[in-house]
Amino acid sequence: MGSAIPFVFPVRSLLYLHDMRRFFSVLAKIALVLVILASILAILYAFLPKGPKDPTGWDDPTGEARVPARGTEFAAVTGTPWATEAAMSTMADGGNAFDAAVAALLMLNVTAGEASSSPGIAPTIVYDAASQEVVSYVGAGTAPAAATLDLYASKGHETIPDLNILAQLLPASPDVMIRLLADYGTKSFEEVARPAIRGAREGFPVTATMHKNLDFSLIERVGFSVLLPYNAKVYLDGQWWRPLHRGDRFTRPDLAETWQTMVDAEHDALESGATRSEALLAVRTHFYEGAPAQAILALHEKKGGLFTAADLANYRGRWETPYSATWSVPGRDGSDYEVYTNTGWTQGLVVPLALNILEHVDLESLGHNSPAYVHAVVQALDLALADREAYVGDPAFVDVPDETLLSDAYAESRNRLMGSESFRRLPAPGVIEGYEPWIPPEVRPSGESIQTDTSQLVVADRAGNIVAITPSDFPKSPMIPDTGMTLGNRMVQFRLDEQSPTSLEPGKRPRVTPHAVMVARDGEPWLAFNTPGGDMQTQALVQVLLNLTVFGMDPQAAIDSPRFRSRSVPSSFAPHEAEPGVLWLERPLHERTGIELAARGYEVVAKPTWYNDFGSVGAILRDAAGWTAVADPREATWAMSR
């Protein structure tokens, strides 16, 4: 045996080398095949059409200066010119502000559908001239009955997963539209839906905002097509190789057909002898129990979603008394302003709370957009946003201490925490007797994490009625096949922490970022405004209102003025990241204040002028001469009046 050993090892070594040569030979052949296939695909891709399919030559107003629209009869400002035109034509045809608001909402669902989709959320606030009351409508859906903390934990989720059917909230906007029409409107659903159905079929030019939202790389387009194929069919026309182009014609035929079935439901009811109110109810029932509902339920059954027929059939919004607070402008003419906003199912409370904190600061003497002024406003906003995280949630489930939060004494106590240096992080919430504040964990971002969302509309009519709606939702979960409907990912604004006021519970609404604001001056309706922008929304609205009141700016200048954005607050969107101490400044403001704000402890970041991550405010103001509608140049927001 010993004499055989010298021959065994060489033989085995030769066999091993032979096997390795075979392995590498096969590997090389596979690599060659892959290279050939990749080359063929690259050649094919090179010849695939990538330019515009149907360029319209439309002149996008984004980034262009606006002129206020002044009129004596009625006015509208919305996120796109086509939605504004739909509102104006509805009122010119005898409709009131409530009819016009629904027409504009539907048109926004078409022309800004990637940011304010149907049938997503639609937080609403109205001034009813007949009763002289401001009321809020709860326009955000609820979590389905099966959506529990235990269920998400069992699936290994620490936050609500994005791009997932488990992120879908029950649809709200059909309920909002029918309530507005039934309780205050004059027109049929068909009349207000007609412009949007026509626009969805005939198409519209891709706006700069839509292009920015959907400007995917080739790899992203391929991934979008694989992960969310129907979404890609709607927004990329199924052509992963072709990027979206500004000004190209874009259509939404499936969505038009879905709305047409709702119109048909109204026709059928009227032909059977129903009253206008009964026919409108038939439209709502068709959506929540008929063909649209069945399509939603079929997708949830297929994809492992949570919706049931009972969830949809039992969904209801409601009218509510808005949050409000009286605010006296420091250093001005002594006018009192009553600020109204939606309740704790939105973040709207931040606006009156921050203003109340600033009532104890002589802002005018600091100088508009001076370093000291920016610092003071940022501190007030950070204090208010800390209280948002600690205390604010759906009032149907959460005992929100709103009376305390909006009291003068509380604002004064928060004001005393303001100093000459940056907080460098989100400050602690206020202490309220009988309440345990929730402190969010600090999650640092892995990259720049801004959620682009939402549009806006404000409408006012001859009678003095005013409607403001802030619609939202985007195609970041599976769309409902063949319907054009987007249920979005709004559940990501829940926290999976039972101690948080916006913790997930069945039947609960998340604390959504979209909200609308109305302001009365000395008891008379004066201003309605809103904006897209996620966690920037409250910050933009506070800045615009201060420009109007403390500094007496012309409305257009108040909206055009450079803005700042605190990044210390945790994002309302999962995974709820924050950048403590970071302050974004639009470029003109950065050039003026950046060095001194950095010396106060902020990490300042310059952003482009009129950058849409700073919001895009639309506003209507009322005075003795009539209405003034004002649009923001940061998006395609458009104002008209007559």
pLDDT (tens digit, 9 = 90+) per residue, 123-146? 999 999 999 999 999 999 999 999
Task: State the average pLDDT over residues 625-629.
Answer: 97
**Lowest-confidence range among 90-104, 128-142, 330-344, 432-446?**
330-344
Place of tokens 């009539």: 626
pLDDT at 596: 98
pLDDT at 34: 72
Instruction: State yes or no: pLDDT of 159 exceeds 70.
Output: yes
Distance separating alpha carbons of residues 570 and 223, to the nearest angstrom: 28
pLDDT digits (tens, 9 = 90+) for 533-577: 999 999 999 999 999 999 999 999 999 999 999 999 999 999 999
Is 209 within 8 Å of 635 (Cβ atoms)? yes
Task: State the average pLDDT over residues 324-353.
Answer: 91
Instruction: State yes or no: pLDDT of 5 exceeds 50.
Output: no
Q: CA 536, 630, 610, 529: dihedral to nearest 10 degrees? A: 0
Band (pLDDT 50/70/90 cuts) for residue 29 is: confident
pLDDT at 639: 98
AA identity, residue 216: F
Question: Cα angle vertex 201, ends 200, 205, to 5°?
Answer: 60
Distance separating alpha carbons of residues 29 and 40, to the nearest angstrom: 16
Is 406 within 8 Å of 564 (Cβ atoms)? no
Mean pLDDT, the chain, rounded, equals 94
Distance separating alpha carbons of residues 559 and 615, to the nearest angstrom: 10
Residue 35 is encoded by which pair of tokens?
């290279």
Residue 222 is encoded by which pair of tokens?
């391929």
pLDDT at 452: 61
More confident residue, 328 or 594: 594
Neighbour count for residue 304 (Cβ, 10 Å): 10
pLDDT at 24: 65
Band (pLDDT 50/70/90 cuts) for residue 444 is: confident
Is 119 within 8 Å of 174 (Cβ atoms)? yes
Task: State the average pLDDT over residues 238-245.
Answer: 94
Task: State the average pLDDT over residues 495-506.
Answer: 98
Task: State the average pLDDT over residues 100-117.
Answer: 98
pLDDT at 47: 80
Band (pLDDT 50/70/90 cuts) for residue 1 is: very low
Distance separating alpha carbons of residues 59 and 280, to the nearest angstrom: 38
β-sheet with 564-566: strand ranges across: 564-566, 582-586, 603-607
Instruction: State yes or no: pLDDT of 243 exceeds 50.
Output: yes
Task: State the average pLDDT over residues 90-96.
Answer: 98
Determine the length of the chain: 642
Instruction: State yes or no: pLDDT of 4 exceeds 50.
Output: no
Partners of 323 in beta bridges: 341
Task: State the average pLDDT over residues 490-513.
Answer: 98
Distance separating alpha carbons of residues 356 and 335, to the nearest angstrom: 14
Task: State the average pLDDT over residues 193-206.
Answer: 98
pLDDT at 45: 77
β-sheet with 133-137: strand ranges across: 319-320, 133-137, 124-128, 466-469, 457-460, 75-78, 638-641
Residue 611 neighbours by CB under 8 Å, 6+ apart: 586, 634
Instruction: State yes or no: pLDDT of 379 exceeds 70.
Output: yes
DSSP label at residue 572: S
Q: What share of the chain is helix, strand, coil (3-state, %, to 5)?
A: 40, 15, 45
Closest by Cα among 429, 407, 420, 427 to 359: 407
Record the pTM.
0.93
pLDDT at 13: 60
Place of tokens 């994809």: 303
Distance separating alpha carbons of residues 36 and 631, to the nearest angstrom: 54
pLDDT at 46: 83
Q: Which helix (H) or strand (E) holds 230?
A: helix 229-236
| Buried/exposed code over 388-417 (b: 16+ C-beta within 10 A; e: otherwise) | bbbbbbbbbbbebbbebbbeeebbeebbeb
pLDDT digits (tens, 9 = 90+) for 265-309: 999 999 999 999 999 999 999 999 999 999 999 999 999 999 999
Is 536 within 8 Å of 612 (Cβ atoms)? no
Instruction: State yes or no: pLDDT of 18 exceeds 70.
Output: no
Task: State the average pLDDT over residues 168-197.
Answer: 98
Instruction: State yes or no: pLDDT of 7 exceeds 50.
Output: no
Distance separating alpha carbons of residues 259 and 271, to the nearest angstrom: 19
CATH T-level topology, domain 69-203+251-320+442-641: Glutamine Phosphoribosylpyrophosphate, subunit 1, domain 1 (3.60.20)
Domain boundaries, the chain: 69-203+251-320+442-641
